[in-house]
Amino acid sequence: MTQRPIVQRLTTQRVLRHRLHRPLIALTALMGITGVASMVLAIVAPVEILGANGWLKPVKFSISIAIFAATIALILDTLPRRRWLWWLGTAIALLLLAEQVVIVAAVAQGSTSHFNVATAVASTLYSLMGASIAAVWVLTLVLGVLVWRRRDGDPARRAALRAGIVVGLAGMGLAFLMTGPTSAQLSDFQGVAGAHAVGIADGGAGLPLLGWSVEGGDLRAPHFMGMHALQGLPLLVWGLEALARRVPLLASVRTRTRLAWIAGTAWAGATAITLWQALRGESIIAPSAPVATATALLAVGILIATASVLRSPRVPEAGRRAPQPVA
């Protein structure tokens, strides 16, 4: 069976020719509808939960789930056709849908979905969400192993997807840091076990739409940043390919591959620093001197590495052609 290269160029014609995983694509479309509906409700029927408009939460999760589902569908399309892989993708779609159903239902009732163990029903639903996300992480890990073992296709695209999956799995795993009860919750139990804020109580002022706290640490920031490396790094390589014909420095696949690994290192480093900042109880917009210094050192290191790659002699690559720019 012919295997297609990893992260092939995506065009409208290709989508029409190949049937991407239908349940995941259906989930992507459904999340688009859910996101728009939630935004409308946020405007016409706002629900205040922990000092914020509760309908913004399903908006954020709709966007995130849609992007994730579409990405998994594209990854599955690069792998050999196997029935068990179809079921794996379907399981991911159903698990993500279950999480979103719980989130929307909780907002409709004016309650929280995450960390809510105030009643038997709330605790059961929260446990269901936790189990769903844990299962999605494991299934994504299985896909990551399959992708890592591939040896065909463009090396730069392969490097971007490999780094994206590793950093993405780490970012997804950071969600479990939020599930343990805080000391304040243990000393005065109020039906809540777990928090995304560090140093302050959940709620309060946050960034527009994202909601990340501007008053203290927030573990959602590194979770979000790491998780979406799976989309950001392949998109970066596509961008390099699009520039290859106009920028001779990027014509070499070896150069683009090295830049992909540098970008993966940068993404992992930025995620780690953001996690460190959150655990220190610092707002994402108010870094301390140590965090700012670490960020600057990472930036300088990445710039030096990038300059070194671009300045290194480019050996002609016989038989290779620069990929066509993304349509």
Inter-helix orientation angle 253-279/220-227, to 10°: 170
**Global pTM value:** 0.78
Output the pLDDT for position 118. 63
What is the spatial distance between Cα 64 and Cα 263, in angstroms, rounded to a whole number?
A: 22
Give yes or no for residue 325 having a pLDDT over 70: no
User: Which tokens go with 74?
Assistant: 């594209």
Least confident of 39-43, 107-111, 142-146, 215-219: 107-111
Mean pLDDT of 6-24: 58
Share of the chain above pLDDT 90, in %: 38
Tell me 212's DSSP state. -
Q: Kind of pairing, strands 197-198 and 217-218?
A: antiparallel
**pLDDT on residue 299:** 96
Higher-pLDDT residue of 7, 310: 310
Q: Which residues contact 101 (CB under 8 A, 6 or more apart)?
A: none
Is the confidence at residue 220, as pLDDT, over 80?
yes
Least confident window among 6-20, 67-81, 206-220, 225-239: 6-20
pLDDT digits (tens, 9 = 90+) for 123-161: 787 788 888 889 999 999 998 888 888 887 789 988 998
End-to-end CA distance of the chain: 27
Query: Sorting pLDDT into bands at 50, 70 and 90, what band is 326?
Result: very low
Band the pLDDT of 46: cuts 50, 70, 90: confident
196 pLDDT exceeds 80? no
pLDDT at residue 246 above 60? Answer: yes
Q: How far apart are CA 301 and CA 48, in angstroms?
A: 44
Coil, strand or helix at 252: coil
188, 268 contact by CB (below 8 A): no
Question: Tokens in use for 242?
Answer: 């699009």
pLDDT for position 319: 44
According to the 3-state scheme, what is the secondary structure of 137-170? HHHHHHHHHHHHHCCCCCHHHHHHHHHHHHHHHH
Angle, helix 220-227 to helix 155-173, in steps of 10 degrees = 160
Confidence of residue 250 (pLDDT cuts 50, 70, 90): confident
120 pLDDT above the threshold of 60? yes
Q: Evaluate if residue 2 carries a pLDDT over 70.
A: no
Summarize the chain as % helix, strand, coil (round to 5). 65, 5, 30
Flag whether pLDDT at 9 surpasses 50. Answer: no
Cα–Cα dist 38/231, whole Å: 24
* pLDDT tier for residue 53 given thresholds of 50, 70 and 90: confident
pLDDT tier for residue 217 given thresholds of 50, 70 and 90: confident
Overall size of the chain counted in residues? 327
* pLDDT value of position 317: 52
Q: Six-digit token pair at 306? A: 């990038």
Tokens, residue 3: 């295997």
Range in 170-184, 241-255, 273-287, 290-304 with the lowest mean pLDDT: 170-184
